[in-house]
Structure 1
Amino acid sequence: MSGERATQRRGEGGDVMAAASKLAPLLEHLEGLDGPAELETLRRLLALSGLTRRDLAPHVRFLDEHYARNIVSKSPHYEMVCVCWRPGQATPVHDHRGSSCAFLVVEGEAVEKVYGHAVDGALGPLEGEHVRPTGYICASSEADIHEVRNDGPDELITLHIYSPALTQLNIYDPVTGRAQGWAPHTVET
């Protein structure tokens, strides 16, 4: 479903149409894909988008139990998701199992911690935690392992583009390093 159709269906007036038109160039490029996009292409598209919370308003929904993955648009070649985080919410330690991912911090501050496997197979942080402020774009390949969380007192909104579409990923026990497959939860907007 394209972002324009989703916002028109919600019928929230002129602001929604303006948001749809600001998303339109990004969605048009993604809809034209005939295979997975290069990671640098995803980064560039987000950098040029200039998107704000207002632009994503039809897709901004928070959940109390865990962060909310709100689908903006999806095809076999990509998935665009507006992720909304309340204070204290976090992803599990995970990879992207076959998909590259770039995300834009639209509002708030994300904290990212990157992990890797040692020679003995143990999983551990590769470096310290990084605060990703509003406007920051993070890009990771399918093999990268990380966690993202909202440690701040305010809401956090991030816009993720996965290519190809993310259907499964691995989550890792940070103590044992053991991986298990997981299908991410999503909300259609």
Structure 2
Amino acid sequence: MTLSMAAPAVSRLAETAGALAAAPDEWVARVRLSPEGRWYERLHRDEDHEIWLISWLPGQATGLHDHGGSRGAFAVALGDLEERDLASTRRLTTGQTRSFGPEYVHEVRNVSNAPAVSVHVYSPPLSVMNRYDLNESGLVRLAVEEAGQW
């Protein structure tokens, strides 16, 4: 699935994630489950955006992170996931999509008893992600990860 535009709006990113999530014939054979951590594979990358497929076993989570200035969206393709941002927590089920702007900090996790799969779209393609902790003083950056680290 491709997207052709200079700076796609988050609504277009969400449409792309949702359409691919709803087309399991395009990705289900690629999915792997890993007890060591979330499994992920980049499905597409060009100068405008990239698309990732991620599988989640129960208990697997991202930790609090941002997307280094990229806009993004993700869709739950199979199962249930929970998303927590700095203001709220929400449960997302198969077919639901979330989108976000460049300054968004969140955590995604599988709190269910079954595997889950999600499709993620970022624009521009990820070059850096910041990892955070949230304590009584507020948001604390723990690490910066560059694209070659994932």
TM-score (norm. length: structure 2):
0.87
1:154 aligns with 2:117: no
Tell me the distance in 2 between the aligned counterparts of 1:46 and 1:159. 6
CA contact (8 A) 2:18 2:74 kept: no
Segments of structure 2 that go 5 or more residues without pairing to the other structure are none
What does residue 76 of structure 1 align with? 47
Structure 1 or 2: larger helix share?
1
What amino acid sits opposite 1:178 in the alignment? V
Query: Which 4+ stretches in 1 moved above 4 angstroms?
Result: none
Q: CA RMSD in A?
A: 1.8
What does residue 178 of structure 1 align with? 140
Report sequence identity in percent.
25
Superposed displacement of residue 103, structure 1 = 0.7
Q: Higher Cα Rg: structure 1 or 2? A: 1
Superposed displacement of residue 97, structure 1 = 1.3
1:94-173 matched pairs, under 5 angstroms? 94-115=65-86, 126-127=87-88, 129-173=89-133
Worse-matched range after superposition: 37-46 or 78-87: 37-46
Segments of structure 1 that go 5 or more residues without pairing to the other structure are 1-25, 116-125
Number of residue pairs aligned between Structure 1 and Structure 2: 146
Residues 8-33 of structure 1, C-alpha deviation per residue, up to 9 Å, x if partnerless?
A: xxxxxxxxxxxxxxxxxx32xx2x33
TM-score (norm. length: structure 1):
0.71
CA contact (8 A) 2:21 2:76 kept: no
Tell me the distance in 2 between the aligned counterparts of 1:92 and 1:138. 17
